[in-house]
Amino acid sequence: MHLREFFAPDAISLALHATEKDEILKELIGLLKLDEKSDAMLYKMLKRRENLGSTGIGRGIAIPHCRSLVVQRLRVAYGRKPEGVDFRAIDEKPVYNFFLIVAPPLEVSNQYLPVLGKIAQFAKEPEVPDRLESLRAPEQFLTLLDEKGA
Amino acid sequence: MHVVVVGAGEVGYHVADRLVGLQHDVVVVDVEPRRLEYVANHLDVAVVEGSGTSMATLEEAGIQKAALLLAVTNVDEVNLVTCMSAREVEALTTVARVSNPTFYRDARNLRPAAFGVDVLINPERELALETVRLLKTTAATDVAVFAGGAVQLLGLMVAPGAPVAGRRLVDLAAEHGDRPILTVAVERDGATIVPRGDTEIRVGDHLFVATKAGEVATALELVGYQPATVRRVMVTGGSTEAYYLSHLLQQHRVQTTLLIEDRQRAQDLAEELDKVLVLHGDATDVELLELEGVGGADGFVALTEHDEINILSSLVAKRAGARQVITLVNKRDYIPLARHIGLDAAVSPRLSAANAILRHVRRGSVTRVATFEGSDAEAIAFTVSPASPIAGKSLAEAGIPAGAIVAAIVRGTEVVVPRGHDRIEVGDSVVVFTLPEAAQAVSEYFPA
Give the domains, in start order, of chain B with CATH numbers. 2-121 (3.40.50.720), 145-222 (3.30.70.1450), 232-348 (3.40.50.720), 354-445 (3.30.70.1450)
First and final CA of chain B: distance in angstroms? 14
Substitution target in A124, A125, A127 with the highest count of B β-carbons within 10 Å is A124
Using a CB–CB cut-off of 8 Å, the residues of B that contact A are 231-232, 255-257, 259, 263, 266-267, 270-271, 274-282, 285, 287-288, 291, 293, 296-297
Instruction: Give this prediction's pTM.
Output: 0.82
Q: State which residues of chain B have pLDDT below 70.
A: 107-110, 177-178, 362-364, 374
Please count the other Cβ atoms lying within 10 Å of the Cβ belonging to residue A146.
12
Mutation target to probe the B interface, by most B beta carbons within 10 A, among A112, A121, A122 is A121
Look up the domain containing A116 and give its range.
3-148
Whether A117 has its CB under 8 Å from any CB of chain B: the answer is yes
Under an 8 A CB cutoff, do A53 and B288 touch?
yes
pLDDT the model gives residue B257: 93
What pLDDT, on the 0 to 100 scale, is given for residue B147?
Answer: 87
Q: Rounded to whole angstroms, how far apart are CA atoms B375 and B125?
A: 23
Residue A19's pLDDT band (cuts 50, 70, 90): very high
CA-based nearest distance B414→chain A, Å: 41
Contact B239, B349 (CB under 8 A): no
- How far does the CA of residue A44 sit from the closest CA of chain B (Å)? 13
What was the pLDDT predicted at A108?
Answer: 64
Is residue B28 a contact partner of residue B45, using CB atoms and an 8 Å limit? yes
Using a CB–CB cutoff of 8 Å, tell me whether A110 touches chain B.
Answer: yes
Average pLDDT in chain B: 89
Rounded CA gap, A144 and B138, in Å? 37
Is A129 an 8 Å CB contact of chain B? no
pLDDT value of residue B447:
87
What are the chain B neighbours of A117 within 8 Å (beta carbons)?
A: 232, 255-257, 277
pLDDT for B107 equals 65
Closest chain A residue by Cα to residue B254: A117
C-alpha distance from B280 to closest chain A C-alpha (Å): 5
The answer to whether the CB atoms of A55 and B279 lie below 8 A apart is yes
pLDDT of B315-340, one tens digit each?
999 998 899 999 999 887 787 788 77
Residues of chain B with C-beta less than 8 angstroms from the C-beta of A126: 274
Question: A33 to each of A12, A39, A65, how far by Cα in Å?
Answer: 12, 8, 16
Q: How far apart are CA B285 and CA B309, in angstroms?
A: 10
Which pLDDT tens digit goes with each residue over B167-222? 998 888 888 766 778 899 998 887 888 998 899 999 989 899 999 988 888 888 88
pLDDT in tens, A101-141: 999 887 666 788 889 888 988 988 888 999 999 999 999 99
Nearest by CB: B280 against A54, A65, A121: A54
pLDDT confidence of residue B356: 82
Residue B84 is which amino acid? M
Contacts of A116 in chain B (CB under 8 A): 257, 277, 293
Could you tell me the CATH number of the domain that includes residue A59?
3.40.930.10
Tell me the residue ranges of DSSP E strands in B68-111.
Answer: 68-71, 93-97
d(CA A129, CA B47): 58
Residue in B236, B262, B277 to test binding to A, most A beta-carbons within 10 Å: B277
B267 interaction partners in chain A (CB closer than 8 Å): 58, 90-92
Measured between CB atoms, which of B274, B288, B296 is closest to A112? Answer: B296
Q: Which residues contact B79 (CB under 8 A, 6 or more apart)?
A: B6, B7, B52, B71, B72, B73, B96, B97, B98
pLDDT value, residue B374: 67
User: How far is C-alpha B284 from the chain's CA centre?
Assistant: 27
Q: Residue B267 is nearest to which of A53, A91, A125, comparing CB atoms?
A: A91
Taking CA atoms, what residue in A is nearest to B261?
A: A53
Q: Does A111 contact chain B (CB < 8 Å)?
A: no
**Residues B259/B273, Cβ–Cβ less than 8 Å:** no
Predicted local distance difference test score (pLDDT) of residue B258: 95
What whole-number distance in Å separates Cα of residue B20 and Cα of residue B26?
A: 7
8 A C-beta contact, residue B131 and residue B326: yes
Q: How many structural domains are present in chain A? A: 1
Q: How far apart are CA A47 and CA A45, in angstroms?
A: 5
pLDDT value, residue B362: 59
Q: Which of B232, B270, B287 has its CB closest to that of A57?
A: B270
Q: Are B282 and B261 in contact (CB under 8 A)?
A: yes
CB-based contact A57 B271, cutoff 8 Å? no
> Across the interface, which of A53, A59, A124 has its CB nearest the CB of B281?
A53
The average confidence (pLDDT) of chain A is: 91
* Contact: B293, A112; criterion CB under 8 Å: yes
**Cα A25 from Cα A55, distance rounded (Å):** 11
Nearest by CB to residue B277, choosing from A66, A112, A117, is: A117
A113 touches chain B (CB under 8 A): yes
Chain A: residue nearest B275 by CA?
A: A121
Facing residue for B280 by CB, picked from A53, A63, A118: A53
